[in-house]
Homo-oligomer: A and B are copies of this chain.
């Protein structure tokens, strides 16, 4: 199919490449011309403006927007609407907040435009492994785009089929689903990221406990000096906790078991926060997902005012003086 890709950074560039390699007719655009030249060299048609992009695409046009969520995506969609014709399809492949999708889809529908949101997982490995996609939008429109999703998805691969499934292989078994109306794709992707934080923190705490077992604060006969890279490696095989994240731990620890290249200042995208918001709106307890998010906040500061207040209270009732750190 013919498709315009807007935003050719790390994610968008690889999306464009994988589509091109899959035989689609890709036309790209990025404000940053440095990003576009590499792709042009690889044979992707590149345009210099949204107008030019719109002009190059046959109606009904398909725009895949792969930009930072928030203001950038919003203003791009606003700029595209006047260039679009009834029946055109906007696909937001970034990490937009699902309530923005719901709102935008409504606004697009008033212009007889279609809006599809695609939560995309796969990171820097997607070009090679394919992208896991969670899609929201009108059923007929999502079905029309099937060749695009088919190309981008990882495909069925070597993975054993899930016990309990039979019959023809469904798209979910090739790596993409139509999750519901507009917003549902990014909602599922948001929860995916929320879970991701929780999984990561579970490994982080576990390896912390393994490492701490060598601490000189412990009685000598209860200390173990455990090879963390070996532990991560062995858990990859036959253990209950094998996972792709564990594979990444194994790789990082194989490179350097002390992880000296990392200071432990951990960013978070908005999706962890939105997941907790959703949990609260639904009154679902999310102890683990929230704690995982808070651990990231805490990782980014040396101390908190709250910690200081704890010390001040301890001094107040017990005369306790702080230990030097």
Contact = CB atoms under 8 A, between A and B. Distances in A.
A280 interface: yes
A294 B289 CA distance: 12
A188 to B, nearest CB: 6
A285 interface: yes
A289 B205 contact: yes
Interface string A103-118: 0000000000000000
A267 B323 contact: yes
Given A238-B132, A262-B311, A305 B184 contact: no
Contacts of A132: 234-235, 237-239
Interface string A174-203: 111101110110011001101111111111
Contact of A208 (B246, B254, B284): B284
Contacts of A40: none
B311 A263 contact: yes
Contacts of A99: 222
Interface stretch (A30-38, A67-75, A151-159): A151-159
A172 B234 contact: yes
A42 interface: no
Nearest to A311: B262
A314 to B, nearest CB: 7
Given A222-B99, A226-B179, A241 B287 contact: no
A49 interface: no
A53 B132 CA distance: 54
Contacts of A139: none
A310 B264 contact: yes
A19 to B, nearest CB: 15
A55 interface: no
B305 A203 contact: no
A145 interface: no
Contacts of A293: 280
Nearest to A319: B124
